[in-house]
Structures are given as C-alpha cells and as structure tokens.
Structure 1
Amino acid sequence: MNIAVLVDSFKGSLSSLEAGNIIKDSILEINDKENIKVMPVADGGEGMVESLADLKGASETELVVKDPLLRNIKAKYIILDNKNIHPEKVAIIEMSAAAGITLISDSLSPMEASTYGVGDIIIDALDRGVKSFIVGIGGSATNDGGVGMLTRLGVDFLNDKGKKIHPSALGIKELDKIDISNMDSRLNDCKFAVACDVTNPLTGPNGSAHVFGPQKGASPKQVEEINDLHCKLYEKTREIINDADSEYPGSGAAGGLGYAFKNYLDAELSSGIKIILDLLKAEDIIRETDIVITGEGRLDKQSAYGKTPIGVAKLAKKYGKTVIAFSGVASNEAEVVNEEGIDAFFPIIGEVIELKEAMDKEVARENLRRCVKQVFRLIYKIK
C-alpha cells in the first residue's frame, strides 16, 4: 500500500516529524514492503515553526526583536530554501514569537501592546533575500490593528503635529494622517500568505475588540474604546487606500493584524493548514495513497475548526481515501471529527498515568508505537 503520514506535533513531547517517523517505523515493523511518505505539517497556530523546522532545506534564524511592550527579546523563525517545495526562499513566521500573549501573560496591556516586533522579523527576512512569507497570526497579545508592524515596515502614522504616534492602539487615539510613501519598497515584490482560522471582521459586535479583546485583558470600557479606534484606523486607511476593507473575513484576527496584512500588504488570508498543504504539494501525494494518517496531541471538538487533522482529512476525502488519526488524548466530544472526514481515531495512552509522564518524549514514543502497531495488525488481518 501507499501510505501518507501528515501529523501535527504532539505539543510538549513529539515534533511533527518525530511523530510521523514513529508511525512509519511502527508500520514497517509489521510489513516492511509498504511505501510510506512522511510530511511534517502544522495548522498555522503556535508551534508552526517548530513543526516545520524539520523540512528539508529549512534553517532556523534567531534575532532580537521588540516584544509587545517594546522590550528586547529573542525570536525565531524559519527560512525554507528548497526549490523542490517552493521556487523561492520562504520565511515561515509565527507572530506570537514577537507579539504573543504568553510573552506578557503577567502584564497584559490591551492598549499599549504592539506588533512592532513582527515587523522586525519581516525586515530581517527581507535583508536575507526572502520574497515569500507564510505568517501564522494566532496567540496575539495585541489590539493595534497592525500599526506596530506597519510602523516597523516604514509606514508613518502621524498625529496632527506630524509626529509619529505610539505603535499601539493607544497611539491610534492621536492618529491624524497615514503616509505609506516610506514603506520598505522591497515589500512590493513580496507575497504574504497569512494563516488565519477566524473569520471575524475588524470592527463591530463580531469584530476584533469585542470577540478577542477580553482575553487580552481589555475591560468592557476598553473593548468599546478599542473598537472605536479600529473604526478610526479604517477611516484613515480609506483616505490612502480607497478599497480598504474592514469586513474581509479574518481582518479582526490578532487584534486587527489580519486587516493590516490584507490592506497594506495584499496578503492572502486563509486556513493555516490549507496554506501548509499547498506549500508541501500534499495533494499530489495524497492523490496516490491508499491510507492517509493524521493526528495531533489532543483531539476534541475544537479540532473540527481548522486544525491539522481536519484539513488533512478534507483533502483526503476529495479523493475518497481512508483516513486514520492518532492523538495523545481524545475528549468525550472528539467524535465530531468523524463527521469531518476522519474515519477512525485512536488515542495512544493506555493505562492511567500522570500528565507529566504521558508527555515524556520516550513514553509518548512508546505509546504511539504500540497503538499504531495494534491498529495495523487489525488492518492487515481484515485485508
């Protein structure tokens, strides 16, 4: 049989490639004649860089950037240089590396938090000759509408005295004029694919401030204020970009960072797993397989909303393939994934153990190996 293995990382224990190779080796222990292709995948959320770091031609880059409160921190991203995957160098970036909520979890600042550091990473990639970008924008601490990132990229957000505003939602209070004439000209030749698995607009009751602001520390009063500031940003943007769209699905992602990417950088906003599967040309592999194996650390009802296993399953079902998923654990509501294309899923944990022990790399490795072997013993018996 031809078997394709596309599993996300089992966060905290196994990387995407490690898990995939364990599955491959376990099947080959039973039948060494199988043709098995393993591809590391991710859904664009936190952990994307780690999951894809094992791709052939990927190199990790570390640099000093500004965190959400404009303090110096180190951040990492990947440059993928493999012409068999993509004709150009590709920067794979997580915005959370520079502007993530975990970076300031003990000092949330919904008005002052900035995406400036995301711009730091983009500039570094430009300096290294990158023209194609994949950016995951999950897990943000910010509500700045992308003003911070755009400021770093050369856009001037000015007050009525011609001075630059603070690169945050707070700064938008003073915003009088936007000038894009100094934006880094190299961006004109760049393409941005933004992994965005929410469809919220920038403003309104379903917009960034109302839906995501509270989890970033915004009080009810601040939620209304941030929404008004996003409306102001939109109106000021319309003065220089006539077709600016605050309603485009995903504009409200990451505190409005999706809006900045779409309107200022002409980015494609789409499902993270779709972007990654397209990058890896996974459809060509899946088309020729008999069984597709996917999975992630935890399967639950949230898995049905744009997570890796469902993205893989939907593509596999386009060609009528059998889909099996393995997971560290599965919640009582995980059966919803069966309605989304996964024919059967198997949690790998056997006996009851502590979470810390279950996430130990060697324990997870053995649990996954044992589970895969038992599933395929059954498959071969039935065949």
Structure 2
Amino acid sequence: MKIVIAPDKFRGSLEATDVCKAIDEGVMRAFPAAVTRSVPLADGGEGTASILTEYTGGRFVPVDVHDPLGRIVGSTYGISGDGLTAFIEMSVASGLSLLSRDEYNPMLTSTYGTGQLIRHALDSGVAKIVLGIGGSATTDGGIGMAAALGYEFYDQKGILLDPVGGSLGQIHRISTDKVDSRLQSKKIVVACDVTNELHGRLGAAYVYGPQKGADDAMVVNLDEGLKNLSRVASEKFEKDYSDYPGAGAAGGLGAGALWFLSAELHPGVNIVMEHTGLEGLVQEADLVISGEGKVDDQTLQGKVIKGLAVLCQKHSVPLAVVCGTLSISPEEAREAGITCAVSVLNKPTTLEQAQKEAFENIRDATFSLVRLFFSGRES
C-alpha cells in the first residue's frame, strides 16, 4: 500500500514537517508494510518559502530589512537549488508576529520590508519570484512594498507620503520614474489563500483589519483609503483590480502586487503542490492523509486541504484528514471531496494541553484511522 502524507502545519503546535512525522509514525504502527511518502504543504502563508526552498534543494539568504514599523530586523528568503527562483514570505518582514500586541496598528504599519526582500532577490539574479502573502500586520495596499522598489506616492500638494496604511486616503499621484526596471523582466507569482476583494464589507479592512489592531474608526478610514488607492492606481495603470479575487489578501497586498509588480495570483497550495511534484505521487497512491489545526468553512474555500481534495478527486484517490478542531459536517466534508475527517482530540482538554500533546494525538488518531481503512488487509 502506498500512502502519501501531505499536511499543513498545526498552528501553535507543530510545523508541517513535524505533522508529517507524527502521521508517519501512526501509519507505521497500524500498517508496517505500507510505503509512505511525506510532502509538507502550506497555503502561501507562514512556512511556504521554507518548504519550497528545502524541497528544491535550495539555500536561505539572510538580509536585514524594515519590520512593519520601520525598525531593522533580520530576515531571510530562499533561492531554489538551480538559482532561478526566489521564495519570499512577506510575514518574515511585514508580519504580525514581528509586533507585540500593543503595537498592532494598520494605520502605521507598512510592507516596505517585503519590497526590500524582493529587491534583494532581484540583486541575486533570479528569473522568478514566488511571494507568499499570509500573516501580514499591514493594510497598506502594497504601497510600502512598492516604495521599496522605487514607486513614489504624492498627495494633492505634491508632498511625498510615508507608505503606510494611514496614507492611503491622501494618495493623489503615483510616480513610476524611479521604479526598478528589472521588475519588467521577472515573473512574479503570488501565493494567496483568500479570495477577498480589495475594499467594501468583504474587503481587506473590514474582514482582516480588526485582527491587526484596527478599531471601528480605523476600519472605515482604511477602507476609504483602499478605495482611493484603487481609483488612483486604476487610472495610472489602466487596470482596475479592486474586485479581483485575492485583491484584499494581506491588507490589499494582493491588489498591490497586481498593479506594482504585474504579478499573477494563484492559490498558495497549488503553487506548493506544483513545485513539489505532488500530483505524480497522488496518482500512484492508495490513500492520501492530510491535516491541519482546524477544519472549518475557511478550509473549504481554498486552504491546503481543499486544494488537495481537488487533486485527489481528479485521480479517484481517497483523502483522509486529521485535525485538532473539526467544525464541518459529514455532508460538507463529502461535498468537499474529503473521504474521512477525524479530530485528534478524544477527551476534554485545555488548548495548552492539546498543543503540548499534539504529536502524540496526531500519531494515535492516524493509527486508528489507518487500522480502520485497511481493515482486513495483511500488515
């Protein structure tokens, strides 16, 4: 029996590589004759660049950049083994994890550091950049990133604006005179796991602003600012991306990448699956086992498991899922292409205890699942 193990991380508990190890141990205890192949996955957020760099035999490049509040911070990005592709995560330069809770304020934060990573990758001579845009601390529409690459944003009086979220509503003119010309010859692909539009009730400010520290007044201000950016940028570049699926990702960086980088937006999990050659492994598998910390409505809208479910359905391979919290019905699981979904929690427990025991819980849940799936077969 061939079993492909392809989970996401369990946020706060285990990275995807460790989840792979736990699932593999469970499989081996239940069915020692199985042949397993592990492929850690990610959806474009934290962990994506590391997975792709390691899988392509690449290397990590250290670089100092500005954090969301403009302070110098050590960061890294990856370059593939053949030196042709850079793998960048915005979260290591512009992520919420770089701030303390009392520093959350999307009016003041910027994606400038993400632009610095892109510029450094251009200096490295790559032909392609894969940019993961999960985990942001920003709602600046990507103007910080753009500023690091030479774009300039002016108000109605001709004063150069600080590229932060609070400046969005003041943008009157965008200058491209100093933009890095190398952007024109590079392919830039953005790994994005949400489909939100840029502004409005389903846009970047209203949906994600509060978790970045925005109060009600800030949300309205930021949303109006994103509308203004959309108006000015659409006129400047003769393309309106405000309703484009994923435009509102990472505080509007999705739209910013389309305008300022001429990038392509793709589901993050699809990019990871493509670079890891996962489809070929799934084709030959008898079972695929995936997992993530929480399986809910968002899972069904484009996260790792949904992307994997589509692939498994294509090749008629059953997909089993282990998770911490299971918040979808059996009917929803079936409609999504999930053959079986089980929670690893089999008793009342605290979050702290569940995180501490995550490895063992995943291993034991996998053991039970595989025993049931291969019931009657010799081991």
2:262 is equivalent to residue 266 of structure 1: yes
Q: Is the CA contact 2:79–2:87 (under 8 Å) kept in the aligned structure 1?
A: yes
| Cα deviation digits, residues 160-210 of structure 1 (max 9, x gap) | 565431111333444332121321122122222222233222233433233
Please, what TM-score do these two structures have when normalized by structure 2?
0.88
When structure 1 is superposed on structure 2, of 151-160 and 370-379 the one drifting more is 370-379
Which of 76, 84, 97 is the equivalent residue of 1:89? Answer: 84
Q: Following the alignment from structure 1 to structure 2, what is the Cα–Cα distance between the partners of residues 205 and 356?
A: 34
Pairing 1:43-122 to 2, within 5 Å after superposition:
43-49=43-49, 51-52=51-52, 54-81=54-81, 89-104=84-99, 105-122=101-118
Match of 2:241 in 1: 245
Q: Is the CA contact 1:301–1:337 (under 8 Å) kept in the aligned structure 2?
A: no
Q: 1:25 to 1:203 in 2, by over 3 A?
A: closer
- The root-mean-square deviation of aligned C-alpha atoms, in Å, is 2.6
Unaligned runs of 5+ in 2: none
Q: How much does 1:287 deviate?
A: 1.6
Q: How much does 1:302 deviate?
A: 3.2
SS in 2 for 1:199: coil
When structure 1 is superposed on structure 2, of 249-258 and 221-230 the one drifting more is 221-230
Q: Following the alignment from structure 2 to structure 1, what is the Cα–Cα distance between the partners of residues 212 and 28?
A: 47
Which of 306, 321, 325 is the equivalent residue of 1:310? Answer: 306
| Cα deviation digits, residues 231-286 of structure 1 (max 9, x gap) | 32223223431124322122122222111101221212222212211222222221
Q: How much does 1:306 deviate?
A: 1.8
Q: Following the alignment from structure 1 to structure 2, what is the Cα–Cα distance between the partners of residues 343 and 220?
A: 42
Match of 1:339 in 2: 335
SS in 2 for 1:106: helix
Match of 1:131 in 2: 127
Q: 1:338 to 1:106 in 2, by over 3 A?
A: farther
Q: Following the alignment from structure 1 to structure 2, what is the Cα–Cα distance between the partners of residues 31 and 225?
A: 57
2:322 is equivalent to residue 326 of structure 1: yes
SS in 1 for 2:366: helix
Which of 362, 366, 371 is the equivalent residue of 2:365? Answer: 371
Q: Following the alignment from structure 1 to structure 2, what is the Cα–Cα distance between the partners of residues 240 and 57?
A: 40
SS in 1 for 2:322: strand
When structure 1 is superposed on structure 2, of 287-296 and 69-78 the one drifting more is 69-78
Pairing 1:111-260 to 2, within 5 Å after superposition:
111-160=107-156, 162-260=158-256
Q: Following the alignment from structure 1 to structure 2, what is the Cα–Cα distance between the partners of residues 324 and 95?
A: 31
SS in 1 for 2:103: coil
Q: Following the alignment from structure 1 to structure 2, what is the Cα–Cα distance between the partners of residues 308 and 59?
A: 24
Q: Is the CA contact 2:65–2:117 (under 8 Å) kept in the aligned structure 1?
A: yes
Q: Following the alignment from structure 1 to structure 2, what is the Cα–Cα distance between the partners of residues 301 and 238?
A: 32
SS in 2 for 1:240: helix
When structure 1 is superposed on structure 2, of 101-110 and 330-339 the one drifting more is 330-339
Q: How much does 1:154 deviate?
A: 1.0
Whichever residue aligns with residue 43 of structure 2, its letter is D
Q: Following the alignment from structure 1 to structure 2, what is the Cα–Cα distance between the partners of residues 148 and 100?
A: 13
SS in 1 for 2:358: helix
Q: How much does 1:38 deviate?
A: 1.4
Whichever residue aligns with residue 45 of structure 1, its letter is G
Q: How much does 1:322 deviate?
A: 0.9
Q: 1:224 to 1:25 in 2, by over 3 A?
A: closer
SS in 2 for 1:7: coil
Q: How much does 1:351 deviate?
A: 4.9
Q: How much does 1:323 deviate?
A: 0.9
Q: Following the alignment from structure 1 to structure 2, what is the Cα–Cα distance between the partners of residues 212 and 355?
A: 24
2:376 is equivalent to residue 382 of structure 1: yes
Q: Is the CA contact 1:8–1:51 (under 8 Å) kept in the aligned structure 2?
A: no
Unaligned runs of 5+ in 1: none
Q: How much does 1:34 deviate?
A: 3.1
Whichever residue aligns with residue 16 of structure 1, its letter is A
Q: 1:373 to 1:275 in 2, by over 3 A?
A: same
Match of 2:14 in 1: 14
Match of 2:42 in 1: 42
Q: Is the CA contact 2:326–2:343 (under 8 Å) kept in the aligned structure 1?
A: no
Q: Is the CA contact 1:92–1:134 (under 8 Å) kept in the aligned structure 2?
A: yes
Q: 1:187 to 1:15 in 2, by over 3 A?
A: same
